[in-house]
Amino acid sequence: MNTKAKDRIATGVFYAMAMIIVAVLFGLLFYILFHGLQRIDLQFITSSPEFMKAGGGVGPQLFNSLYLLVLTMLITLPLGLGGGIYLAEYAPKNKVTDVIRLSIEVLSSLPSIVVGLFGLMLFVNTMGWGYSILSGAFALTVFNLPLMVRVVEESLSSVPREQKEASFALGITHWATIRKVLLPVALPGILTGAILAAGRIFGEAAALLFTAGMSSPNLNFANWNLLDPASPLNPFRPAETLAVHIWKINSEGLIPDVREVADGASALLVITVLVFNIAARWFGKWLYRRLTAS
């Protein structure tokens, strides 16, 4: 067999593998959306769940998922950026930084249930925050921080060295070089890492069972007082997310339409993730154009 024939075979194999992956992905999406879209309407999205009768919705759970996402990313992004910049630009090559990188690798491989138990011990019990959005946000920060640090470090390290050296040659300081040269070039990779971290927040359930809880109070969306227990923005209230709600009703739900609610919640979760990913990538491209233009 000649070289061209081997090349055609290898190309066909890789195309076939890509088509299988795409087919599996679209098959899953079609199955979830086909069974769930018929349940989704305005009442389902905005109303509270029922516990004994049919017809409930997932309004509080959807809001809790979005609020937890925002709160977690507000904590994760600054810490991840700081840790990644330190490891890529400031950390010396010695045993201490080797230990730091090893610790990051170990943390990134921890099962989410272990992170949940750690959050239960530290944030729920020791810190006294109880089952709350804040406990869940910090637990998910522990879960996602290793990913963000590694993504930021690798994105900065992949910037061509010539660009950095050219900046130094012009007399620009190290921090200004990072801010004006390295970060804009590394932004697409950092954005991809942030989207991956956000997707893990949307789909996470095990860690939140022990930190954010499996219940949600009746939310008064006319009350935005952070200290009011009924306020949607109160970070110290329990917050059942969509992923936790899907698990809960499938495992112990007593409502007669449990299957329909689970299908609708699953489809809504998938749609939310898709919309968030598209919006985040659009914002990232817009921000990249602004930074590179300036």
The predicted structure's pLDDT at residue 18: 93
Convert the pLDDT of each residue in 106-160 to its tens digit. Answer: 888 888 889 999 999 999 999 999 999 999 999 999 989 998 999 999 999 888 8
CB crowding 120-137: b at 16 or more within 10 Å, else e: bebbbeeeebebbbbbbb
Q: How far apart are CA 282 and CA 96, in angstroms?
A: 39
Class for the domain spanning 40-293: mainly alpha
Residue 294 has a pLDDT of 61
Token output for 235: 């970070």
Percentage of the chain with pLDDT > 90?
28
Question: In this predicted structure, what is the pLDDT of residue 221?
Answer: 74
pTM assigned to the model: 0.87
Cβ contact 66:271 at 8 Å: no
Residue 134, φ and ψ in degrees, nearest 5: -65, -40
Q: Where are the domains of the chain?
A: 40-293
